[in-house]
Amino acid sequence: MKKIKNHIDELFKDIPRNNETEMVKQEIIQNLEEKVFYLMEHGKEEDDAINKAIVEFGDIEDLKNELGVKEPKNKNMAKLNLEFSVWGSSLIIALFLFINLYYTPNTIWAIYPIFAILWWPLSMYFVWSRKKWSK
């Protein structure tokens, strides 16, 4: 029955510990153990009965909603990615301009990698705008 306890502990790892959750946890373990004994009385092996009881128990999402556990919100990283891409590409462009003007001032070649680098903030802008307008 250690397998049932470990399984329930794993399911409850994200749920804050308090008296209510401990009582619910103990009740679930007791119900699963009773189901295992019932299945064993009807000819199942112990391991098969434990696995069947765990599978039939199913998902814990309804229980989380009942206990008031909220899912963590995903942060919108699109704006941060856009800002990072603008600053990063600006620094890279400044580096290319410096190298171009310092070593070969008569030949302007930095414009080609600058166009390639500008795709980075442009793509992040489109990701940010899509997330912004989808709300």
pLDDT (tens digit per residue) in 20-48: 888 888 888 898 899 899 989 988 888 88
Structure-block tokens of residue 18 = 């308090």
* Contact present, 124 and 87 (Cβ < 8 Å): no
Q: What was the pLDDT predicted at 75?
A: 67
> CA-to-CA distance for 112 and 24, rounded, in angstroms?
64
Mean of the per-residue pLDDT values for the chain?
A: 86
Half-sphere exposure of 127 (CA within 13 A, CB side): 15
Query: Which band of pLDDT confidence, cut at 50, 70 and 90, is reported for residue 132?
Result: confident
Check: CB of residue 61 under 8 Å from CB of residue 14: no
Q: By percentage, how much of the chain surpasses pLDDT 90?
A: 40
pLDDT in tens, 57-88: 877 776 777 666 666 566 678 889 999 999 99
pTM score, two decimals?
A: 0.49
Looking at per-residue confidence, does 21 or 98 come out higher? 98
Q: What is the pLDDT, as a whole number, of residue 13?
A: 81
Long-range CB pairs of 105-111, under 8 A, 24+ apart, other chains included = none
Report the pLDDT value the prediction gives residue 18, as an integer from 0 to 100: 82
> Which band of pLDDT confidence, cut at 50, 70 and 90, is reported for residue 12?
confident
HEC letters along the chain: CHHHHHHHHHHCCCCCCCHHHHHHHHHHHHHHHHHHHHHHHCCCCHHHHHHHHHHHHCCCHHHHHHHCCCCCCCCCCHHHHHHHHHHHHHHHHHHHHHHHHHHCCCCCCCHHHHHHHCHHHHHHHHHHHHHHHHC
